[in-house]
């Protein structure tokens, strides 16, 4: 009788990363759920809150440089443990904010730090370290986590804020979210397959005679960031977020402008987030099967068309629901493929640091989105003009990604072996690794 192989521990890692990704991102999007109620605070206009949202994204962009490096240096487990503790602190402080400066400090700084250590960069980078052949599918699953979490929790948070107040809702949920992240990190998360004596994807050990051929090529960070593919990925990931972050921050408020009751307006974010989750998984699978640089531009083309529709045609709740679904699906199809592509191009060893760098651009440049959307809404009385700006940003990203595909051979779109951090260090000592 054939012996049944145990389940590869990497799939437990995926489950743990999914749970952390669901909860960690809520520290950014809580203002989306609470925006209709926070506007009633004295001195808290849409522009005040929009500035806080932009500040949070800008500082998140700085903090992910740290969190990405921490995943590479001290490991994912310790990074998530620290992030869970900061999550509790950030939500508790946020619930007590009484003036705009406190909102900027507690939400814009402390919660931005918490999100950077529990959200996209460490989650996606850790998944990429555990998987190689299924990297697109795995990062698609873990990348969908925030969308699933927001689709489920934002309507709940909006409803609770309507009945119990946004402050009490923040206090209770924030403590629960942070404690859950800490427990998952402690009991489930491990840094890499090599830390448990395993190999990526659960592959069998390579015979010694073949070992030198299987060591992955690992680029130094300074060398990688000067290549054309990296620069173009940086541009694409940064520019489209101007439109995306503005839309995500204001879609609930746009719904209330169109006549939706405040208590149920969270459904518009659900209409955006749920297709995003589907798009991440489908896009990841398609990227593994047909090529990442072939699938990524297609998602952004859909977003560009959707935002043009938002400019010309959204004047009702039904139209906004259609717009939200199209933007969510299109963004999801491509967003989870950046990390696998970075790993393909430059190896697993520094994928956290490299993804942190392009996410720095995502936040520093894209962080203007919520503030731009708020100012255009105040100036024009509606969000349609902001949707046109978003369409232009998505179109620029499409062009950048098409150029990445055209020069893929220059950057070296390799099948990058299987050695993790420990294997790379050992290979360096024996001279069996090429470090570009």
Could you tell me which of 56, 38, 24 has the C-alpha nearest to residue 166?
38
- Residue the block writes with tokens 């009991």: 187
Return the H-helix or E-strand segment holding 245: helix 228-257
Strand partners, 435: 218
At 282 the three-state DSSP class reads helix
- The fraction of the chain above a pLDDT of 70, given in percent, is 88
Q: Which residue has the higher pLDDT, 413 or 145?
A: 145
Rounded Cα gap, residues 55 and 38, in angstroms: 17
Report percent pLDDT > 90 for the chain: 51
pLDDT digits (tens, 9 = 90+) for 84-108: 999 999 999 999 999 999 999 999 9
Quote the longest CA-to-CA distance of the chain: 73
Report residue 2's pLDDT band, with 50, 70 and 90 as the boundaries.
low
What is the pLDDT, as a whole number, of residue 330?
Answer: 96
Q: Which of 433, 16, 4 is nearest to 190 (CA)?
A: 16
- Residue 4 pLDDT level (bands cut at 50, 70, 90): low
Burial of 38 (0-12, 13-18, 19+ CB in 10 A): buried
Tens-digit pLDDT profile for residues 397-420: 999 999 985 334 343 333 333 333
372 touches 389 (CB < 8 A): yes
196 and 190 Cβ atoms separated by less than 8 Å: yes
What is the per-residue pLDDT for 385? Answer: 92
Range list of H helices, 25-134: 26-38, 46-73, 76-95, 100-105, 112-118, 120-130
State the Cα torsion 315-246-90-129 to the nearest 10°: 120
Is residue 285 over pLDDT 90? yes
Q: How far apart are the first and last CA of the chain?
A: 47
Give me the residue spans of the domains in the chain: 10-194+216-430
* Closest by CA position to 244, among listed 156, 332, 175: 332
118 and 24 Cβ atoms separated by less than 8 Å: yes
Give tens-digit pLDDT for 237-284.
Answer: 999 999 998 998 889 889 989 998 877 787 888 899 889 989 999 999
Q: Which residue has the tokens 């679904």?
A: 325
Residue 248's nearest CA partner among 154, 133, 174, 111 is: 154
Does domain 10-194+216-430 fall under CATH 1.10.510.10? My reply is: no
Q: Tell me: the pLDDT tens digits for 168-224?
A: 999 999 999 999 999 999 999 999 898 898 988 887 665 444 444 455 667 888 989
- The answer on pLDDT for 318 being more than 70 is yes
pTM for the structure as a whole: 0.76
User: How far are the Cα atoms of 238, 362, 365, 388 from residue 47, in angstroms, in the given order?
Assistant: 22, 21, 18, 19
Q: Which residues, at least 6 apart from 393, have a Cβ–Cβ distance to it below 8 Å?
A: 239, 240, 241, 242, 243
- How is 150-206 classified by DSSP, letter by letter? HHHHHHHHHHHHHHH-HHHHHHHHHHHHHHHHHHHHHHT--S-GGGGT--GGGPPPP
DSSP state of 98: -
CA dist., res. 197 & res. 436, Å (int): 26
Strand, coil or helix: what is 435?
strand
Q: Write out pLDDT tens, residues 20-48.
A: 999 999 998 898 889 888 988 777 887 88
Tokens of 346: 């430059």
């Amino acid at each position: 009788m054939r012996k049944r192989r145990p389940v590869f521990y990497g799939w437990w890692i995926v489950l743990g990363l999914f749970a952390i990704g669901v909860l960690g991102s809520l520290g950014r999007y809580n203002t989306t759920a609470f925006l209709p109620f926070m506007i009633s605070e004295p001195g808290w206009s849409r522009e005040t809150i929009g500035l806080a949202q932009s500040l949070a994204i800008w500082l998140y962009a700085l903090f992910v440089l740290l969190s990405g490096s921490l995943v590479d240096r001290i490991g994912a487990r310790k990074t998530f443990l620290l992030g869970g503790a900061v999550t509790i602190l950030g939500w508790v402080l946020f619930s007590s904010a009484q003036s705009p400066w406190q909102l900027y400090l507690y939400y814009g700084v402390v919660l931005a730090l918490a999100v950077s250590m529990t959200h996209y960069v460490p989650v996606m980078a850790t998944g990429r370290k555990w998987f190689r052949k299924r990297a697109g599918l795995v990062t698609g699953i873990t990348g969908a986590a925030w969308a699933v979490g927001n689709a489920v929790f934002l309507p709940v948070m909006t409803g609770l804020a309507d009945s119990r107040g946004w402050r009490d809702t923040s206090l209770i949920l924030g403590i629960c979210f942070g404690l859950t992240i800490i427990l998952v990190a402690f009991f489930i998360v491990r840094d890499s397959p090599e830390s448990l004596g395993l190999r990526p994807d659960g592959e069998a050990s390579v015979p010694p005679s073949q070992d030198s051929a299987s060591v992955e090529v690992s680029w130094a960070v300074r060398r990688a960031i000067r290549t054309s593919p990296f620069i173009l990925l940086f541009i694409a990931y940064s520019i489209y977020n101007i439109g995306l972050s503005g839309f995500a921050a204001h879609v609930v408020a746009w719904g209330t402008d169109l006549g939706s009751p405040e208590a149920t307006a969270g459904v518009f974010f659900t209409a955006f987030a749920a297709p995003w989750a589907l798009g991440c998984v489908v896009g990841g699978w398609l990227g593994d099967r047909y090529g990442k640089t072939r699938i990524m531009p297609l998602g952004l083309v859909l977003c560009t068309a959707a935002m043009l529709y938002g400019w010309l045609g959204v004047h009702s709740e039904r139209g906004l629901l259609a717009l939200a679904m199209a933007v969510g699906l299109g963004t999801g199809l491509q967003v989870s493929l950046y990390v696998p592509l970075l790993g393909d191009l430059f190896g697993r060893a520094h994928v956290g640091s490299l993804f942190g760098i392009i996410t720095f651009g995502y936040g520093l440049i894209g962080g203007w989105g919520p503030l731009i959307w708020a100012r255009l809404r105040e100036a024009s009385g509606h969000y349609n003009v902001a949707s046109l700006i978003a369409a232009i940003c998505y179109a620029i990203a499409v062009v950048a990604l098409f150029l990445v595909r055209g020069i893929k051979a220059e950057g070296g779109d390799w099948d990058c072996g299987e050695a993790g951090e420990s294997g790379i260090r050992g290979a360096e000592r024996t001279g069996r690794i090429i470090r570009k």
